């Protein structure tokens, strides 16, 4: 095991998986997906609300509980690290308010403020070997970098999910679109972000999204 | 003991090094290649004799034509030989095994060996003193130069080329030790019907790979071994006694109404004294598996190096944990070496990973589909409040679970 991922959803995990491959060469078999399904039995899962499976609230809960961070990182001796993902789109809901998004500096400020919020949740469970996958606004904005025509930061997009869906319609054949719709979110977003598995692609894409660049820079410091 | 085996080009294994000790437990999702690892070692174990489908089956290997033995990954050229590097007993040998039959259903395997390292005893005279010096024999080393440097006279003289003669001696000695150790290797996979004595598929002596002849092996244990077996069996809560009815006399008294060949009997401590004996036909399968494993590790007649596929069969989780803890103790005491696969988390809780002789490996397929392993080591600073390994596995912290969640 090399890395664990705490993320809002499966689509985010898929994108991060491809980034880990492209940036650090980490194989999917070396990644632990720290999802609630693995910690609960079917009896518990049956009474859980949908938002308890994936959303920023589950990321917050896992950070605050601390046991995932502690047990995953502190027991096994293999130089593993943890990726914590959250989208900034719902930042008002988790207490990061009044931040506009008009300039690159605004995007950097949002990312840094959200990171501070996660560190606040982690408290004493904060570790050096944690990389923060904070997507401004959503991970879809990271995927949108592969379609970027100019140097604009895709973090400026207000509705990256819809923009990405529209790009897929433009670029994929009807048959491919149908096949993609039949995939689960992990495989679908794994396909959307497949180009991230090459470092040379990533090094181009990060120029169009500062939050993606900062995440990749943090990963670089964890290279063992 | 074998300290390391490297396997190349065997089924899903492209290039895999196993750093081994006494107890080596392999976990991983179905189809990741755990059994391929056990089978590769079985394939290797026939290196000193006849590698044939018949011999492989006797060892518990699923046989196949050679094109299915070699790697067959997309976009890679097929290599037509399996290669091994084996380290142990202070020796290192390379093996290359090729099929001479050109992919028939009955492969004709041919093995080549190459000694990389072996200890070398030199009988050296220095001045007036004669002494033996052990050194390593690396291939292509300057043996004559070594001798000239270390002594005046070496007690090996005849007309054969000196280096050739030394090589011949090393080949002989090294093959004998490593290959004799390997050749008894079997993959045990006990089954209830075989343990009960109903089925006798495996003719392997003294213990069949599916559990045959457990009663015979127990009856041939030394007094000390049998006492140890009985004492370890006390962890079975209902067991008062166990014995082998060598003359099969109890069968005639109606204690064995089925068709079992087993002469193993048990006494239940909760039943009336004059009516508490029953045969392995009627015993719960848990104790049969339990006795099988204990006897396998205890007996001096069983192989010193073997594998067990799915050790958890019919074991309660708590018993599973105790079983592993106990067989670790027995294995270390009796110098046994085992490769064990399991799908049961409780097995992990019986391991003490702070003891280097007990090892845990996660087996997985990488992005290309190749079987790879990772040894799990715990940090020395971890205190007793940490999660159990079983829970870590179930939560996905160790890997070895399906990822298509």
- Tens digit of each residue's pLDDT, chain B (405 residues): 999 999 999 999 999 999 999 999 999 999 999 999 999 999 999 998 889 999 999 999 998 888 899 999 988 888 899 999 999 988 888 999 999 887 778 889 999 888 777 766 555 555 566 666 555 555 445 555 655 554 443 444 444 456 665 665 555 565 668 898 999 999 999 999 999 999 888 888 899 999 999 999 999 999 999 999 999 998 899 999 999 999 999 998 888 888 899 999 999 999 999 999 999 999 999 999 999 999 999 999 999 999 999 999 988 999 999 999 999 999 999 999 999 999 999 999 999 999 999 999 999 999 999 999 999 998 876 665 678 999 999 888 998 777 665
**A33 vs B372, B394, B403: nearest CB:** B403
DSSP state string for A142-154: HHGGGG--SS--G
Please state the ipTM of this predicted complex. Answer: 0.86
Mutation site for B-interface testing, chosen from A14, A76, A183 by largest number of B Cβ within 10 Å: A76
**B382 vs A28, A33, A74: nearest CB:** A74
Q: At what angle do helices B223-232 and B285-298 cross, to 10 degrees?
A: 140
Residue B398 contacts A where some CB pair is shorter than 8 Å: yes
Residue-by-residue pLDDT tens, chain A, 224 positions: 689 999 998 899 999 999 999 999 999 999 999 877 767 777 887 887 766 666 888 899 989 988 888 889 888 888 899 999 999 998 888 888 878 888 999 999 999 999 999 999 999 888 889 999 999 999 999 999 999 887 789 999 989 999 999 999 999 999 999 999 999 899 999 999 999 999 999 999 999 999 999 999 999 999 86
Report helix, strand or coil for B392.
helix
Strands B23-27 and B358-365: parallel
Q: What stretches of chain A show up as alpha helix (H) in DSSP?
A: 10-24, 36-39, 42-46, 56-65, 67-74, 104-122, 139-143, 160-171, 174-181, 185-192, 199-205, 210-222
Chain B, 328-387: which have a CB under 8 Å from a chain A CB?
Answer: 362, 364-367, 372, 374, 376-382, 386-387
**Phi then psi for B388, rounded to 5 degrees?**
-70, 150
B129-136: strand order across its sheet: B129-136, B119-126, B153-154
Tokens matching residue B304: 């010193």
pTM for the complete prediction? Answer: 0.89
Residues of A in contact with B399 (CB under 8 A): 1, 29-30, 32
| Contact between chains at A78 and B374 (C-beta distance less than 8 A) | yes
| Contact between chains at B374 and A30 (C-beta distance less than 8 A) | yes
What integer pLDDT is reported at residue A112 of this predicted model? Answer: 95
Residues of B in contact with A127 (CB under 8 A): none
Residues of A in contact with B382 (CB under 8 A): 74-75
Distance (Å) from the C-alpha of residue A81 to the closest C-alpha of chain B? 12
**A1 vs B365, B380, B399: nearest CB:** B399
Residue B394 contacts A where some CB pair is shorter than 8 Å: yes
Residue of B nearest to A39 (CA): B395
What integer pLDDT is reported at residue A67 of this predicted model? Answer: 83
Residues of A in contact with B404 (CB under 8 A): 186
Residues of B in contact with A44 (CB under 8 A): none
What integer pLDDT is reported at residue A40 of this predicted model? Answer: 75
Mutation site for B-interface testing, chosen from A73, A75, A188 by largest number of B Cβ within 10 Å: A75
**B378 vs A35, A67, A77: nearest CB:** A77
Kindly report whether the peptide bond that precedes residue A88 is cis, defined as omega within 30 degrees of 0. Answer: no
Under 8 Å between Cβ of A6 and A62:
yes
Rounded distance between C-alpha atoms, residue A119 and residue A126, angstroms: 6
What integer pLDDT is reported at residue B158 of this predicted model? Answer: 41
Strands B239-244 and B264-268: antiparallel
User: Can you tell me which residue has the tokens 């069996």?
Assistant: B233
Rounded distance between C-alpha atoms, residue B301 and residue A24, angstroms: 50
**Phi then psi for B308, rounded to 5 degrees?**
-130, 125
What integer pLDDT is reported at residue A98 of this predicted model? Answer: 77
**Phi then psi for B296, rounded to 5 degrees?**
-60, -45
What integer pLDDT is reported at residue B160 of this predicted model? Answer: 46
Let me know if B69 is exposed, middle or buried by CB neighbors in 10 A (0-12, 13-18, 19+): buried
Residue of A nearest to B32 (CA): A29
Distance (Å) from the C-alpha of residue A174 to the closest C-alpha of chain B? 26
| Contact between chains at A39 and B379 (C-beta distance less than 8 A) | no
Tokens matching residue B394: 């179930």
Residues of A in contact with B356 (CB under 8 A): none
């Amino acid at each position: 095991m090399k890395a664990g991922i705490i993320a809002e959803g499966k689509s985010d995990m898929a994108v991060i998986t491809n980034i880990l491959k492209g940036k650090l060469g980490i194989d999917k078999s070396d990644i632990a997906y720290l999802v609630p399904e693995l910690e609960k039995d079917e009896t518990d899962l049956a009474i859980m609300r949908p938002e308890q499976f994936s959303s920023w609230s589950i990321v917050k809960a896992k950070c605050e509980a601390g046991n995932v961070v502690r047990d995953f990182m502190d027991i096994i001796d293999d130089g593993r690290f943890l990726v914590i993902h959250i989208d900034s789109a719902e930042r008002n809901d988790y207490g990061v308010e009044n931040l506009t998004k008009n300039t690159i500096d605004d995007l950097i400020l949002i990312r840094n403020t959200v990171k501070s919020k996660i560190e606040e949740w982690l408290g004493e469970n904060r570790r050096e070997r944690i990389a923060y996958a904070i997507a401004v606004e959503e991970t879809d904005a990271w995927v949108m970098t592969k379609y970027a025509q100019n140097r604009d930061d895709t973090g400026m997009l207000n509705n990256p999910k819809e923009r990405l869906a529209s790009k897929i319609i433009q670029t994929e054949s009807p048959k491919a679109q149908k096949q993609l719709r039949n995939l689960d979110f992990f495989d679908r977003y794994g396909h959307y972000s497949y180009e991230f598995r090459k470092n040379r692609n990533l090094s181009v894409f990060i120029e169009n999204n500062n939050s993606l660049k900062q995440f990749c820079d943090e990963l670089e410091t964890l290279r063992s | 003991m074998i300290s390391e085996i490297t396997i190349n080009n065997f089924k899903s294994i492209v290039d895999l090094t196993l750093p081994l000790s006494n107890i080596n437990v392999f976990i991983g999702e179905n189809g990741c290649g755990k059994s391929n690892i056990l089978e590769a070692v079985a394939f290797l174990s026939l290196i000193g004799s006849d590698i044939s489908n018949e011999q492989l089956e006797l060892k518990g290997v699923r046989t196949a034509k050679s094109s299915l033995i070699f790697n067959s990954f997309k976009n890679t050229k097929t290599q037509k030989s399996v290669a091994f590097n084996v380290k142990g007993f202070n020796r290192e040998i390379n093996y290359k095994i090729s099929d001479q039959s050109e992919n028939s259903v009955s492969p004709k395997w041919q093995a080549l060996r190459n000694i990389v390292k072996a200890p070398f005893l030199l009988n050296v005279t220095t001045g007036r003193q004669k002494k033996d010096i052990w050194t390593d024999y690396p291939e292509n080393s300057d043996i004559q130069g070594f001798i000239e440097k270390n002594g005046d006279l070496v007690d090996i003289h005849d007309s054969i080329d000196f280096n050739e003669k030394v090589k011949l001696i090393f080949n002989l000695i090294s093959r004998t030790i490593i290959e004799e150790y390997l050749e008894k290797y079997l993959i045990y996979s006990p089954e209830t019907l075989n343990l009960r004595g109903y089925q006798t598929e495996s003719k392997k002596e003294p213990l069949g790979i599916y559990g045959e002849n457990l009663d015979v092996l127990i009856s041939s244990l030394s007094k000390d071994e049998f006492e140890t077996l009985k004492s370890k069996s006390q962890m079975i809560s209902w067991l008062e006694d166990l014995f082998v009815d060598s003359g099969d006399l109890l069968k005639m008294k109606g204690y064995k109404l089925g068709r079992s060949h087993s002469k193993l009997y048990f006494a239940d401590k909760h039943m009336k004294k004059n009516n508490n004996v029953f045969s392995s036909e009627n015993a719960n399968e848990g104790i049969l598996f339990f006795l099988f494993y204990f006897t396998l590790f205890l007996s001096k007649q069983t192989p010193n190096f073997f594998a067990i596929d799915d050790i958890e069969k019919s074991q309660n989780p708590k018993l599973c944990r105790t079983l592993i803890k106990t067989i670790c103790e027995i294995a270390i005491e009796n110098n046994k070496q085992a490769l064990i696969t399991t799908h049961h988390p409780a097995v992990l809780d019986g391991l003490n990973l702070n003891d280097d002789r007990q090892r845990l490996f996660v087996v997985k397929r990488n992005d290309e589909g190749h079987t790879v392993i990772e040894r799990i080591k715990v940090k020395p600073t971890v205190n007793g409040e940490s999660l159990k390994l079983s829970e870590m596995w179930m939560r996905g912290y160790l890997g070895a679970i399906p990822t298509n969640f």
